[in-house]
A and B are shown apart, each in its own frame.
Chain A
Amino acid sequence: MRTSLPEAPAGSPARPGNRRLPPLVLHILAALGALAVIVVLTLVTDEFTNLRIATVGYYLIAVAGLTLLTGLTGQVSLGHGAFMFIGAYTVALLVRRVPAFPLWADLLLAAAAGGLGGLLAGAAAARLRGPYLAGATLALAVGLPALTRRFQDFLGGSNGLSFTVHSRPAGLAGVVPELRWQTWIVWLSVLVALVFVVNIVRGKLGRTFRAVRDDEVAAALSGIHVGRTKILAFLVSAVCGGLAGGLQAYLLGTAAPGSFTPALSLSLLAAVVLGGLGSLWGALWGAIALVYFQAWSEDLADALHLNTDVANNLPLAVYGVILIVVVLAFPRGIQGGFQRLRGLLRRTAEKKENHENH
């Protein structure tokens, strides 16, 4: 990796202050800052809002992984929920069968198990593209949860597994509510994972990914092993998916096939599109939208005292409408919208400056 270049390349706008800091350090600092924001946020909100913040956290890492796969290497996966399934069951089984394992080991293994699944899926997927790849990954989302039926005694059948994870140090009981503590753990893990992902996206590997996405032939001609790169992208994104599933299981104390339907995979992909394809900031907006649009539209349905049939379908309808509107207005998602807005503001500012100069 060439991350420790002493100076920014000539010609790039030198930002004062951070010229000497390598990107990795910057990313770690940013992650620490984000963690501080989360801690403050959880301290000023109630316990249930903490749960929602934590939910945004694990969706964020899942969506970020999918962003890397779909936005960066151009592989459309309709089966990302399957990696969450793997992660969730890994944590569930470890907590139940090996209770002596610490949580961080459980989560690392969940990410590793997701990665292993991604490696296998990626090896098959590297030979497919476009709709064929989408179909194959969808099959993964449909088929994998059926394993619980095949190994009913081990995986608990349709009923799934339930368990309680005790991660809060005994000394903090009565000081920090369990859910708040869990939210911190979720976000800490997510931010650690994000540092990895951001480093990959900004580094050499990220450039390789983009090269493969933009033109496979050109990439191959310039010495990039296309198949291997695609598998690598699958691996990284599946690690994120596995971690997200593991965090979900840790947070909710459950792993059941009913939670990992193809609808989950589709809504993850929708969140990628909604947030902004190919942008990690977009993953954050997507994850927030996933959690909050649903909650808001449910509250709205409650407040309006709608007929139950309408109220039940309102959240999905609202989500669909927002997706359509955002994509029509900002083809590059919410993040694209923000960028356009920023560009617009800058241009107006420049124009104004020009006016004043003349």
Chain B
Amino acid sequence: MRTTRTVAGIAVLALALSACGGAGESDTSGTQAADSAVGVTKDSVVIGTHQPLTGPAAPGYSKISVGARAVFQSINDGGGINGRKIDYKVEDDGYNPTKTVEVVKKLVLQDKVFAIVGGLGTPTHSKVVDYLNTEGVPDLLVSSGALAWDNPQKAPMTFGYQLDYTREGKIQGKYIKDTFAGKKVGYFTQNDDVGRDTQAGLDQFIKDQTVAKQGYDSANTDVTPQLSALKAAGAEVVVCECIPAFTALSILAAAKIGYKPQFVVSSIGADPATLSGLLQDFAKRGGASVSSAQLLNGLIGTGYLPDVAQTSDPWVAYFKGIHDKYIPKEQLTNTLFYGMVLAYTFAQALKASGPDPTRQKIVEAMSSGSLKGPGLTPFGFSKDSHSGYTGGYVFKINPDTTTTVIQQPAVTDRGTGAITPYSGERATPDQVNLLGK
């Protein structure tokens, strides 16, 4: 066995030479200078995003970039922002974190993007925050409500977009406590920051009403065991903090076992149009046909953007115009709308960074608090906060799958602060006036 020993010796020597310090040692190189303008030319700005176009989160979410692209097209056709067209590169990561790291490195190193805009997902995006901040790449409007994006000290380039899960949990918790006092509540949450952060909010109000907590993993689409456990625990209200596919799966699983709780769904998975489609699709694959209107009737959800059914809203009307012109064949869902608002908000920040945008300038524009937008509550952006929308409203789905607001918009903080109704004025599309000089 002498040769074996030789090989082992060489192997150890080679590996020892390869690294002397500890693998986890902190690096000396800090954040790179952000005053660069990578990706910006005289007539274009290249931006990128990672989206689940395939995989477990694709049902529903794959439409976000479709909506965003339509808005960018409309802006480009109107002459762009300060004369620059927006080149929007969408990479599919399949909701797989390994893939996310690869495609984000591709966008940064190969496509040389100016910024990552609306990177989607908590398990996915959390793997690239360090990288983007080390490389000094603006990481704007992350499509997730995790608290992790709001950390200006550690991640100065990263900004949230959505109402964060703790704030949303507080608004839901208070609503449940007020409306369903004394009823037994079960939590059904995604096994990551979505679940953890939401419960931090819910528990402030309904901890003693809670009888069961169940979680799901996006790789496993059978949720019958969890719903059975919630049924067995006697939960009359089920708070579902799920992505659209899993909201639909939960509703179907509950129906299958004859369980009829009051579902309270958070904004990430409560879009009626998307859910209707998914319910029918999943049921068909299971060999059944269902009435999605019947299944969705009475479902309670939270939101922070106007519902696309509210055609009298000036922003809904504005985006419907873009929708009709560029993507008339796509169904106008709240998910599609989410992507449109995202794109519009980025364009506002780009405009606010002046005629010669740099990475530093767009970060300052994001922090300036100047972004006004389609949301029903304001953004939390400032020097000390990189938090997205700061509040939301509660709605109920009607028998015809339209929605009715049952609690007006309210804002709160991510700590234990009060929930206060919000009635501030929203700027209209005319007042923002993105195009032109």
A contacts, CB < 8 Å to B = 1, 3-4, 22, 24, 28, 46-48, 51, 55, 91, 94-96, 98-104, 106-108, 145-146, 148-149, 152, 156-160, 162-167, 169-170, 173, 179, 184-185, 188-189, 192, 195-196, 199, 248, 250, 252-254, 256-259, 261, 298, 308, 311-313
> Are A166 and B15 in contact (CB-based, < 8 A)?
no
Assembled-state Cα–Cα distance A4/B6 (Å): 13
> Are A104 and B16 in contact (CB-based, < 8 A)?
yes
With A4-B3, A192-B11, A312-B92 known to touch, is A103 a contact of B18 (CB < 8 Å)? yes
Assembled-state Cα–Cα distance A259/B129 (Å): 18
> Are A51 and B130 in contact (CB-based, < 8 A)?
no
With A1-B1, A159-B122, A259-B97 known to touch, is A188 a contact of B25 (CB < 8 Å)? no
Chain A residues with Cβ under 8 A from B131's Cβ?
Answer: 164, 253
Q: Other than the known A145-B217, A196-B7, A308-B62, what 14 A-B pairs have Cβ atoms closer than 8 Å?
A: A55-B102, A99-B25, A101-B22, A103-B19, A156-B192, A158-B190, A166-B24, A167-B19, A188-B14, A199-B7, A248-B98, A254-B101, A259-B96, A261-B96
Neighbour of B215 across the interface among A47, A149, A164, A192, CB < 8 A = A149
Interface of chain B residues 87 through 132 with chain A (CB within 8 A): 92, 95-99, 101-102, 105-106, 109-110, 122-124, 126-127, 129-131
Neighbour of A261 across the interface among B24, B129, B219, CB < 8 A = B219
Chain B residues with Cβ under 8 A from A107's Cβ?
Answer: 15
Assess whether B27 is interfacial by the CB under 8 Å rule.
Answer: yes
Within the complex, what minimum Cβ distance (angstroms) separates B240 from chain A? 16
> Are A158 and B18 in contact (CB-based, < 8 A)?
no
Interface of chain B residues 1 through 55 with chain A (CB within 8 A): 1-4, 6-7, 10-12, 14-16, 18-29, 53-54
Chain A residues with Cβ under 8 A from B22's Cβ?
Answer: 99-102
Assembled-state Cα–Cα distance A212/B193 (Å): 49
Closest to B220 in A: A146
8 tightest A-B CB contacts, nearest first: A99-B24, A104-B15, A159-B192, A259-B98, A48-B109, A103-B19, A256-B97, A103-B23
Assembled-state Cα–Cα distance A46/B26 (Å): 26
Interface of chain B residues 226 through 275 with chain A (CB within 8 A): none
Closest to A166 in B: B27
> Are B219 and A46 in contact (CB-based, < 8 A)?
no
Scoring B23, B101, B217, B220 by chain A CB atoms within 10 A of each residue's CB, the highest score goes to B23
Assess whether B218 is interfacial by the CB under 8 Å rule.
Answer: yes
Assess whether B191 is interfacial by the CB under 8 Å rule.
Answer: yes
> Are A162 and B127 in contact (CB-based, < 8 A)?
yes
Assembled-state Cα–Cα distance A338/B95 (Å): 37
> Are B23 and A166 in contact (CB-based, < 8 A)?
yes
Closest to B19 in A: A103
Within the complex, what minimum Cβ distance (angstroms) separates B214 from chain A? 11
> Are A256 and B127 in contact (CB-based, < 8 A)?
yes
Neighbour of A108 across the interface among B15, B29, B54, B122, CB < 8 A = B15
Closest to B62 in A: A308
> Are A146 and B193 in contact (CB-based, < 8 A)?
no
Assess whether B66 is interfacial by the CB under 8 Å rule.
Answer: yes
> Are A257 and B217 in contact (CB-based, < 8 A)?
yes
> Are A24 and B190 in contact (CB-based, < 8 A)?
no
> Are A166 and B25 in contact (CB-based, < 8 A)?
yes
Chain A residues with Cβ under 8 A from B122's Cβ?
Answer: 159
With A157-B192, A192-B14, A312-B62 known to touch, is A166 a contact of B26 (CB < 8 Å)? yes
Assembled-state Cα–Cα distance A88/B49 (Å): 26
Within the complex, what minimum Cβ distance (angstroms) separates A36 from chain B? 14
Chain B residues with Cβ under 8 A from A188's Cβ?
Answer: 14-15, 18
Neighbour of B19 across the interface among A158, A159, A179, A185, CB < 8 A = A185
Closest to A167 in B: B19
With A1-B1, A1-B4, A261-B219 known to touch, is A312 a contact of B23 (CB < 8 Å)? no
Chain B residues with Cβ under 8 A from A148's Cβ?
Answer: 191, 217
Closest to B134 in A: A164
Closest to B27 in A: A166
Assembled-state Cα–Cα distance A179/B102 (Å): 12
> Are A158 and B11 in contact (CB-based, < 8 A)?
no
Chain B residues with Cβ under 8 A from A252's Cβ?
Answer: 98, 101-102, 127
Closest to B26 in A: A166
Assembled-state Cα–Cα distance A95/B190 (Å): 26
Neighbour of A159 across the interface among B1, B21, B123, CB < 8 A = B123
Scoring B18, B58, B98 by chain A CB atoms within 10 A of each residue's CB, the highest score goes to B98
Chain B residues with Cβ under 8 A from A261's Cβ?
Answer: 96, 219
With A94-B23, A167-B23 known to touch, is A253 a contact of B66 (CB < 8 Å)? no
Q: List 14 A-B contacts (CB under 8 A).
A: A94-B23, A99-B22, A102-B23, A103-B19, A104-B16, A104-B19, A157-B196, A166-B21, A169-B19, A195-B10, A254-B97, A256-B127, A308-B53, A312-B54
Interface of chain B residues 51 through 90 with chain A (CB within 8 A): 53-54, 58, 62, 66
Chain B residues with Cβ under 8 A from A189's Cβ?
Answer: 15, 18
Chain A residues with Cβ under 8 A from B92's Cβ?
Answer: 298, 312
> Are A24 and B215 in contact (CB-based, < 8 A)?
no
Chain B residues with Cβ under 8 A from A250's Cβ?
Answer: 23
Within the complex, what minimum Cβ distance (angstroms) separates A286 from chain B? 18
> Are B23 and A192 in contact (CB-based, < 8 A)?
no
Assembled-state Cα–Cα distance A102/B23 (Å): 5
Neighbour of B24 across the interface among A101, A145, A169, A312, CB < 8 A = A101
Chain A residues with Cβ under 8 A from B2's Cβ?
Answer: 4
Closest to B63 in A: A308
Scoring B2, B7, B24 by chain A CB atoms within 10 A of each residue's CB, the highest score goes to B24
With A170-B28, A254-B101 known to touch, is A145 a contact of B23 (CB < 8 Å)? no
> Are B130 and A185 in contact (CB-based, < 8 A)?
no
Interface of chain B residues 166 through 202 with chain A (CB within 8 A): 190-193, 195-196
Assembled-state Cα–Cα distance A313/B58 (Å): 12
Chain A residues with Cβ under 8 A from B95's Cβ?
Answer: 258
Chain B residues with Cβ under 8 A from A102's Cβ?
Answer: 16, 19-23
Assembled-state Cα–Cα distance A128/B44 (Å): 60
> Are A253 and B11 in contact (CB-based, < 8 A)?
no
Scoring A3, A28, A101, A192 by chain B CB atoms within 10 A of each residue's CB, the highest score goes to A192
